[in-house]
Structure 1
Amino acid sequence: MAAFLLVVLGCFWGLLQGAENLGYSWHWTRVPRYLYKITDEGWQAGPLLQGLWLTLEITVVSLLLSLVIGLLTALMRLSRSPMAKGIAWVYLEAIRNTPLLIQIFIIYFVFAPILDLGRFSSAVLALSLFEGAYASEIIRAGILAIPLGQWEASASLGLKPPQIYRFIILPQAIRQMIPPLTSQGISLIKDSALVSTIAIYDLTMQGQQIVAETFLTFEIWFTVAAIYLLVTTLLSLLVRYLESLFSVQ
């Protein structure tokens, strides 16, 4: 952690020196108004915190949907149906071998008008499909990590495959899947910055808007980066806690 902080401070110092060489004039005192404001009605969130809230909204909804998509895809890959395996393979190859930005554009400009989807729904769908492809591999690996004896013992009790997954396999696999899935959630937060390209006023888009209006380029982008860093660091600490918790158990 100390080394990480030193690297961050070193980068920050280098950027400050570069801005100073460019003759940039700093105006940090103008930044707080874009984070919060105090009015007669009390404390209110500024544009950046409003954007952060929308970013977290998109992240949470996309994460839940990606888990559902990932579970279904993993089960399709593990099934005996050639058609199910084929559909899952095509989906995984198409998603993992194309950039997320292109996927967002295709969903928003091609499929959204057909399906009557708004910007928020298009962004959630694109992120869910993208992250679901990676979540499916995590879930599949967790399922395959369960010893074969568990499957055989479950079958000998007369349980059907859906019951085996529900009552025996998934409860055990979840312990191994939670830490990497939480890490995937961290990646989702960072990937969500791309939804600003379709005019969704998330944290990144709010930052762009403020920079265009005020020309506080360095101050605003440093602040936006710090907010992302704070959120992802907190989630990283959660991942470490979960890993230590499950390793003890």
Structure 2
Amino acid sequence: MTADKPQRRIIAVGSGKGGVGKSTLSANLAVALARLGRKVGLVDADIYGPSQPRLLQTEGVKPKARNDKLVPVESPFGLGVLSMGNLVEADRAIAWRGPMASGALGQLIDADWGDAEIIVVDLPPGTGDVQLTMLQRHKPAGAVIVSTPQDLALIDATRAMQLFHQAGVPVIGVVENMAGYVCPHCGEVSDPFGSGGAEAEAGRRGESFLGRVPLTLKIREDSDAGKPPAAGDSPEGQAFLAIARRVLTWLDNQ
């Protein structure tokens, strides 16, 4: 711990629905922010389906406790991580009701984060108990919304935006994930989930557009291997870094 407690701000990453790559975006955003010189922590608030231990190479590592608070697990990518996936066995179902899940989330966020100045919170999909408790008790500085360009995903992303606004949490901006697939053999670009939908929806609602992340085999392979692209200089990594820079510009202007 530093002598002076840092001004710590929470960035919530939400999607309104599952399957849009929110956890991958959260992990890479946190890694990119650390690469840009910020002291970062990440909370995996997806209590029922934690994936950050795999994404950030902390599988099988149990957090310790200090002064009745959890101490984050150190990821090889320069940030601390706390996830239910670090507290329970990988093959164990977490069958908890809302209050238990919300209580667990509180322990993760209120952990001993040391000198971390930014905490990225990977929220579970939807707009239920865990999300509401987090917004009411921990008041994020802002929220990043993740969506694919698909109309069905945009409907749920819009609900997530409304939830944050109702809770008085500003939306930092919208990320369009899985935005275009480049064939590794011929180089042709196709759009299996559509194109530009998230950017257009952000514009209609007066929200900032933070950028696009392509649908590539490399992101899937690197994520499964616990090697977030944001840790490197590939085109995919640069896409995440560009989004992180825009998030930092927003934070620094608050």
Band the TM-score falls in, shorter-chain normalisation: under 0.3
Larger radius of gyration: 1
Larger relative helix fraction: 1
Larger relative strand fraction: 2
TM-score (norm: length of structure 1) = 0.26
TM-score (norm: length of structure 2) = 0.26
